[in-house]
Amino acid sequence: MSDKDTGAGSGFGFMVGIAIGLAIGFLYAPRTGKETRELLKGKAEEMQEKATEVAEKVKESAAEVKKKAEAKMEEAKKPAPPES
Mean pLDDT of 25-52: 82
Q: CA 5 → CA 8, 47, 68, 75, distances in Å?
A: 8, 22, 16, 25
What three-state secondary structure class fits 83?
coil
User: Do residues 15 and 54 make contact, with C-beta atoms less than 8 angstroms apart?
Assistant: yes
Mean pLDDT of 17-43: 80
Confidence band, pLDDT 50/70/90 cuts, at residue 66: very high
What is the total residue count of the chain?
84
Assessment of whether the complete model's pTM goes beyond 0.95: no
- Please give the pLDDT value at position 64: 92
Q: How many Å separate Cα 6 from the centre of its chain?
A: 9
Longest dimension (CA), the chain: 84
Highest mean pLDDT: which range of 1-10, 18-27, 44-53: 44-53
